[in-house]
Structure 1
Amino acid sequence: MTKAARPVLVVAEQLDAAADMVVDQLNQRDVPVMRFDVAEFPQQLTLTGSHLPQEPGWGGTIDDGRRTARLEEVRAVYWRRPARPLIAGTVPEPYATWAQNQADAAILNVLSALPGVPWLNNPNADRVAAHKPQQLVAATRCGMTVPRSIITNSPDAARNFAREVDGPLICKPILGGRLDIGEERRLMVATHRVDPAEFDDSIRTTAHYFQADIPKAYEVRLIAVGGQVFGGKLVTTSEAAGIDWRTDYGHIEYDTVEIPDDVATSVRWFLASYGIAFGAFDFAVTPAGQWVFFENNPAGTWGWVENRTGLPIAAAHAEYLMGATV
């Protein structure tokens, strides 16, 4: 089979606009695609992997009843937030959870064992790359500026930090995610400003992540894909959006921004240090023009950046998955 005919696996939920955009770009380049959601396994999707002694990798097939891809011919894997395997309702607990974990491991670990196959991104690497405290260390080592930060459950330590910063503070989640507050309601825990005068023993209830509040001329959602970098500029026009733009999309003005060479180089080093090829980075740019790193989401959203700015991010995904070098 020629390189051009080798398929790209797109592993994503069926209703995922970013995956749709990447598939469209691959189709335009006549690259075969097999798209599936891990939720289809094992009830609708069939995996048959085999490994023989002395063989360099796994062979076999993955089949959804309509299309079949041979594992040894897979060109690349785009892993885009798939759901977990769905086990038949006839399987009782605790066997259903056990079966789900087995199915999860089978899909991911067999695909991960395919030699020389590039990923955007392998979730095994993503799990490490998503740790926010370690990100600050990696960013600093790569030459980025980061906010002064503390993680603590001590009211006294939090008060001391506030005195040392001697300026506005914010509090943010250490781990991303949402709170389930009802059967059909989920609450996002947003970054918010805090008043040190109100620090009390409630800080002891859990770990709190405090940072110096960075003054912003604007913010940047920087998307890095296989060495290419794209800057989506966000100018916020409300106080809420200025603290956390996810809380007030109606007061954001979108544009593009040129990424300084030193920032682009640091971003590439950062990704390489984790062994990943994609990242959705959040930066603030101060009124003095300094770029300050907040965090990187190794599985972050980017479709809205392309839709708002026209930046060719989906095309960059396709080029990387095809094996193009930058």
Structure 2
Amino acid sequence: MILIISSSESDGHIAPVAAELSRRGEDFRIYDPATYPASSTVTIESARGGTKTLLSWDGTVLDLACVKSVWYRRPGELAISDRLTTEEGTWLRLECNHLLRSVWAGMCACWVSDPQAIRSASIKIPQLKLAADMGFTIPRFTVTNDVDSAREFISSCHEGVIVKVLTNPFIAYSDQWCRLYTHLLSTSDLDKIESVRFGPTFLQEFVQKAMDVRVTVIGEEVFSVGIESAEFKQAQIDFRRVEIYDLPHTVMALPEHLSSLCIELVRRLGLRFGAIDLILTPDGQYFFLEINPNGQWYWLELVTGVPLTRSLCNLLTNGLNARKGCR
């Protein structure tokens, strides 16, 4: 049995994987924790030699001991009753999250990837340190709320400085959502340098690029796609500013040592999947920017035909036999 933990309605990655698993005749279920506790139940019972955990939703009752492989994609937010006070809802949300983390941690299965590993790997600074220690080349950076330190770093970067977020790129205002893109510091930004003191500011030395490179690691397989963003003004710093399908994509082969580094980075982070962002400079040098342990990938397959769905399904189905990842 393969369990997919995600929202099938809001995540376009679920349908192609489900279709491929169905084509192969694999037994799988899709569960979204956004139904818990409003319309799904979790029951844990003591049993000989341990516990028995039952997950029930939409007429399905699943004994999690039968699950040999799990794809942990992007689960929705918990469904906490609006009949509770704000204080009660806050408390109950913590209780529900604690229970679900206990359930996932107790499963002996092949995880793609383990939820705790995903959370740990998402922390930006340690992943950059690990990448540098392993031999990736990374741009110089500083994270600070000290205005003088920020000025000093900016002055030392003669080609320019970009500013980016550490975690969530969205700000929710009362009437709209605002997305914070990575951008090159301008003169008007420098006029507001005092705002650095409000909180951690992630500054990174600007590196001229020939193209962005998205590397998708699935198990022991590496798939690399070059995204030719340098020729598009709005996409030169952050290719997410333009319609991604308008940018030329090219399937490419990484140098062997770099491909091996990508696999090893994913392994050291305790993951079986990783979306790694590199940039390729005009002189042929690769710089590591970040790894997203649960990043987007299906658009790469739609644009280039690179077989990511097949690779992911191979990993999930092989986990049925190997039962790797038991903790």
> Is the TM-score greater than 0.5?
yes
Once the two structures are superposed, residues 168-187 of structure 1 have per-residue CA deviations (whole angstroms, 9 ceiling, x without a partner) of 1111111233111234x311
Q: Is the 8 A contact 1:8 1:75 kept in 2?
A: yes
Which of 226, 240, 245 in structure 1 is aligned with 2:239? 245
Please tell me the residue identity of whatever aligns with 1:149: F
Distance verdict in 2 for CA 1:90–1:204, change over 3 Å:
closer
2:203 corresponds in structure 1 to: 210
In the superposition, relative to structure 1, how do residues 221 and 51 fare at CA in structure 2: closer, same or farther (>3 Å)? farther
**Counterpart residue type for residue 203 of structure 2:** F
Give the distance between the partners of 1:17 and 1:168, measured in 2 at CA.
37
Counterpart-to-counterpart distance in 2, 1:98 and 1:14: 27
Give the letter aligned to residue 95 of structure 2.
Answer: Q
Question: Kindly tell me: are residues 111 and 155 of structure 1, through their superposed partners in 2, closer, same or farther at Cα, counting changes over 3 Å?
Answer: closer
Which of 177, 180, 201 in structure 2 is aligned with 1:189?
180
Match of 1:4 in 2: none
Aligned pair partner of 1:21 in 16, 19, 23 = 16
Deviations 1:105-142 (A, max 9, x none): 22232122112x11122221111101111111111122
Note the C-alpha offset of 1:195.
3.9
Q: Does 1:301 align with 2:296?
A: yes
Opposite residue 309 of structure 2, the aligned amino acid is A
One-letter amino acid of the structure 1 residue matched with residue 149 of structure 2: A
Alpha-carbon separation, structure 1, partners of 2:77 and 2:13: 19
**Which whole-Å CA distance do the structure 2 matches of 1:91 and 1:187 have between them?**
30
Quote the offset at 1:101 in angstroms: 2.2
Q: Distance in 1 between matches of 2:168 and 2:294?
A: 12
Could you tell me which of 130, 137, 142 is aligned with 1:138? 130
5 Å-filtered alignment, 1:1-326, equals: 7-15=1-9, 16-52=11-47, 54-55=49-50, 58-115=51-108, 117-183=109-175, 185-195=176-186, 198=191, 200-236=193-229, 237-249=231-243, 251-323=246-318
CA displacement at 1:241 relative to structure 2: 0.3
What root-mean-square deviation, in Å, do the aligned CA atoms of Structure 1 and Structure 2 show?
Answer: 1.8
Residue 17 of structure 1 aligns to a residue whose secondary structure is: coil
Amino acid at match of 1:222: V
SS at match of 2:80: coil
User: Partner letter of residue 249 of structure 1?
Assistant: E
CA separation in 1, counterparts of 2:165 and 2:201? 7
Which position in structure 2 is the counterpart of 1:3?
none
Q: Is the 8 A contact 1:46 1:63 kept in 2?
A: yes
* Aligned pairs, number: 315
Code of the aligned partner of 1:188: R
- Provide the secondary structure at the position in 2 that maps to 1:48: strand
Find the aligned partners of 1:315 and 1:69 in 2 and give their Cα distance: 26
Query: Residues of 2 paired with 1:151 and 1:60: CA distance?
Result: 43
When residues 199 and 94 of structure 1 are mapped into structure 2, their CA distance, relative to the original with a 3 A threshold, is closer
> d(CA) in 2 for partners of 1:51 and 1:273?
34
1:73-111 deviation digits (Å, cap 9, x = unpaired): 101111111112202222333222222222222223212
Following superposition, the deviation at residue 53 of structure 1 comes to 5.3
Letter in 2 for 1:36: Y
